């Protein structure tokens, strides 16, 4: 039965968006001398929210210079002192959580329920976690005197703007590096709010610098000669380009790229829980999730039963105003991403898969795509091989565990996977054979700052989170 809910909109009065936004360099908001401005919108309404600066090579150089100057004292500061700043940032994030969540939803299109209950609590948790590490670097596993790299350039995508910022900045700072970070072009606003939080926390000037802009700004960071390490999260295509650009230099690199995860359901899985896991796996954050469970592998004997339960469940998902507290699925982040999803969905039909979409009403303005499931998908179809990065599930079947494992691993990616079964022994057997950085058993899309996250193959290299995420920002220094 479908319940009707009265609208429950979250108020936006808590956010204060500046109409024109500058760059954050050396603890000041400064305007670019030559940089142009571009607009950022609310993807759920297409309303203009603000103007953002496109940082030029000169601006990036200024930011790197500030970070270099700050590095000398920041790296020398006792770990316990750096920890105090990180704890302070974590507490301010908790204090201003509602404001950050509303701003994230306005600029990204994700449901307020997710930004409020998932993204922003995890952001604070990451800063708390790495604050705890700052005075314990000798336990990171790199000897008794590990050293930070220096100035780190960080480039992040639009799907979890504030969370990706936290994954990058928290461990870098704990380890004693200073940073120049570029948010994604479509979602810069929470990064600029984070800059305000750095000021509020009295972080020393130059430790965090935020330069907004598009691909050119990212390229300027990557190519700057005084940057010691690049940490990138985004598409495999851009990741490959970055790896080529810095080949032959001494720059260190970590890449968190795309994925095409298999979510494997065996015939003994508890179906009701599994349905929730499938939904969370691919419809969380509109499927704009690198580790999304976008390929459902179902044991043939339960295919029809599972699919009919899934369709019933998907009809209950509330698609629409991301600021409404009852909304399950929000807006697609940009017109360009919507086109990409539409194009891949069309290829699914053209190649012979069967398309089912929820009958939900989509809003007139903004960028929307209904929760969609393709059945009768074969491994050669584009929708089984390419990352759609949208609310689209491709369903394949299998008969034996070996077939499930072979199909799950038949992808150029290797970021995540899921297994649903009542049998503990089968969980151990299957998870050990899946070539993926993260494998969830009887759950999906669960994140924790203590747990390392990252991929194999075309999903990139390096880990974020936990001790492993810390070591990405350190090298083994000489013993004292």
H helices of 109-160, in order, are 112-114, 120-133
In whole angstroms, the minimum distance from the beta carbon of 464 to ligand NAP comes to 7
Q: Which among 451, 446, 445 is positioned nearest to 468, based on CA atoms?
A: 451
In whole angstroms, the minimum distance from the beta carbon of 257 to ligand NAP comes to 5
Number of residues that bind ligand NAP (CB under 6 A): 29
* Residues β-bridged to residue 233: 256
- Kindly state whether residue 320 participates in binding ligand NAP, applying the rule CB under 6 A: no
In whole angstroms, the minimum distance from the beta carbon of 425 to ligand NAP comes to 30
| Pick 233 or 372: Cβ nearer ligand NAP | 233
| Pick 55 or 269: Cβ nearer ligand NAP | 55
For ligand NAP, what does the binding mask look like between residues 257 and 296, x meaning CB under 6 A? xxx------------------------------x------
- Kindly state whether residue 234 participates in binding ligand NAP, applying the rule CB under 6 A: yes
Phi/psi of residue 435, nearest 5 degrees: -90, 80
d(CA 268, CA 424): 11
3-state secondary structure of 403: helix
- Kindly state whether residue 214 participates in binding ligand NAP, applying the rule CB under 6 A: yes
d(CA 156, CA 191): 10
In whole angstroms, the minimum distance from the beta carbon of 255 to ligand NAP comes to 8
Q: Which among 436, 472, 439 is positioned nearest to 457, based on CA atoms?
A: 436
d(CA 91, CA 423): 41
* Beta carbons within 10 angstroms of residue 214's beta carbon: 15
Part of the chain binding ligand NAP (CB under 6 A), chosen from 215-223, 297-305, 311-319, 425-433: 215-223
d(CA 39, CA 17): 13
- Kindly state whether residue 181 participates in binding ligand NAP, applying the rule CB under 6 A: no
d(CA 100, CA 440): 29
| Pick 277 or 460: Cβ nearer ligand NAP | 460
| Pick 155 or 396: Cβ nearer ligand NAP | 155
For ligand NAP, what does the binding mask look like between residues 335 and 374, x meaning CB under 6 A? ----------------------------------------
- Kindly state whether residue 412 participates in binding ligand NAP, applying the rule CB under 6 A: no
Tokens of residue 138, six digits: 């000798």
* Residues β-bridged to residue 210: 24, 181
Q: Which among 297, 395, 294 is positioned nearest to 354, based on CA atoms?
A: 395
Give the start-end residues of each E strand in 93-203: 147-148, 151-155, 178-182
| Pick 302 or 438: Cβ nearer ligand NAP | 438
In whole angstroms, the minimum distance from the beta carbon of 413 to ligand NAP comes to 9
Q: Which among 9, 480, 460 is positioned nearest to 238, based on CA atoms?
A: 460
In the residue annotation, 291 being an active-site residue is answered as no
| Pick 257 or 314: Cβ nearer ligand NAP | 257
In whole angstroms, the minimum distance from the beta carbon of 429 to ligand NAP comes to 26
- Of 256, 386, 387, 458, the catalytic one is 256
Part of the chain binding ligand NAP (CB under 6 A), chosen from 32-40, 135-143, 230-238, 318-326: 230-238
Q: How many residues does the chain have?
A: 480
In the residue annotation, 256 being an active-site residue is answered as yes
* Beta carbons within 10 angstroms of residue 161's beta carbon: 28
In whole angstroms, the minimum distance from the beta carbon of 215 to ligand NAP comes to 3
* Residues β-bridged to residue 372: 357, 392
d(CA 39, CA 1): 42
The interface with ligand NAP within residues 423-462 (CB under 6 A) comprises 455, 460
Tokens of residue 162, six digits: 């504030």
The interface with ligand NAP within residues 140-179 (CB under 6 A) comprises 155-159
| Pick 123 or 302: Cβ nearer ligand NAP | 123
The interface with ligand NAP within residues 74-93 (CB under 6 A) comprises none
- Kindly state whether residue 184 participates in binding ligand NAP, applying the rule CB under 6 A: yes
Q: Which among 323, 255, 311, 329 is positioned nearest to 107, based on CA atoms?
A: 323
Closest CB to ligand NAP: residue number: 218
Please, what sign has the CA dihedral across residues 345, 110, 233, 186?
positive
d(CA 18, CA 147): 39
| Pick 270 or 412: Cβ nearer ligand NAP | 412
- Of 104, 114, 290, 387, the catalytic one is 290
* Binding interface with ligand NAP (CB under 6 A): 155-159, 182, 184-185, 214-215, 218-219, 222, 233-235, 238, 241-242, 256-259, 290, 387, 389, 415, 455, 460
Where in the sequence numbering do the catalytic residues fall? 256, 290
């Amino acid at each position: 039965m479908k319940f009707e809910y009265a609208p429950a909109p979250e108020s936006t009065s808590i956010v204060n968006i500046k109409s024109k936004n500058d760059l954050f360099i050396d603890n000041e908001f400064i305007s670019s001398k030559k940089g142009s401005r571009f607009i950022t919108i609310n993807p759920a309404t297409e309303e203009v929210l603000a103007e953002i600066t496109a940082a030029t090579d000169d601006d990036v150089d200024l930011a790197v210079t500030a970070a270099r100057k700050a590095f000398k004292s920041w790296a020398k500061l006792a770990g316990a002192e750096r920890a105090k700043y990180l704890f302070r940032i974590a507490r301010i994030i908790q204090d201003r959580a509602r404001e950050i969540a509303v701003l994230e939803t306005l600029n990204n299109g994700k449901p307020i329920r997710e930004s409020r209950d998932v993204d922003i609590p995890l952001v604070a948790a990451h800063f708390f976690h790495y604050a705890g590490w700052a005075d314990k670097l000798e336990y990171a596993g790199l000897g008794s005197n590990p050293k930070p790299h220096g100035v780190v350039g960080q480039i992040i995508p639009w799907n979890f703007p504030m969370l990706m910022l936290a994954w990058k900045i928290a461990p870098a700072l704990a380890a004693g590096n200073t940073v120049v970070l570029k948010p994604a072009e479509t979602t810069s606003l929470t990064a600029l709010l984070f800059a305000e939080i750095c000021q509020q926390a009295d972080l020393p000037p130059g430790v965090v610098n935020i330069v907004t802009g598009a691909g050119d700004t990212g390229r300027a960071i990557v190519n700057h000669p005084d940057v010691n390490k690049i940490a990138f999260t985004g598409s495999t295509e851009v990741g490959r380009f970055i790896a080529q650009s810095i080949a032959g230099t001494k720059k260190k690199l970590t890449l968190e790229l795309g994925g095409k995860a298999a979510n494997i359901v065996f015939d003994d899985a508890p179906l009701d829980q599994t349905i929730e896991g499938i939904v969370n796996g691919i419809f969380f954050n509109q499927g704009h999730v690198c580790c999304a469970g976008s390929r459902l592998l179902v044991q043939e004997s339960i295919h029809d039963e599972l699919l009919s339960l899934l369709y019933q469940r998907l009809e209950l998902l509330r698609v629409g105003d991301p600021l409404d507290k009852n909304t399950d699925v929000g807006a697609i982040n940009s017109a360009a991403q919507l086109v990409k999803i539409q194009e891949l969905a069309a290829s699914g039909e053209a190649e012979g898969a069967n398309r089912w979409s929820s009958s939900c009403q989509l809003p007139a303005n903004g960028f929307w795509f209904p929760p969609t499931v393709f059945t009768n998908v074969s491994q050669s179809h584009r929708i089984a091989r390419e990352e759609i990065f949208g609310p689209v599930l491709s369903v394949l079947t299998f008969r034996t565990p070996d077939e499930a494992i072979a199909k799950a691993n038949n992808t150029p990616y290797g970021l995540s996977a899921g297994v649903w079964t009542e049998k503990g022994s089968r969980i151990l057997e299957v998870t050990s054979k899946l070539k993926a950085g993260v494998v969830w058993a009887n759950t999906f899309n669960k994140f924790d700052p203590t747990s390392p996250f990252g991929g194999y193959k075309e999903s990139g290299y390096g880990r974020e989170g936990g001790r492993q995420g810390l070591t990405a920002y350190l090298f083994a220094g000489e013993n004292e």
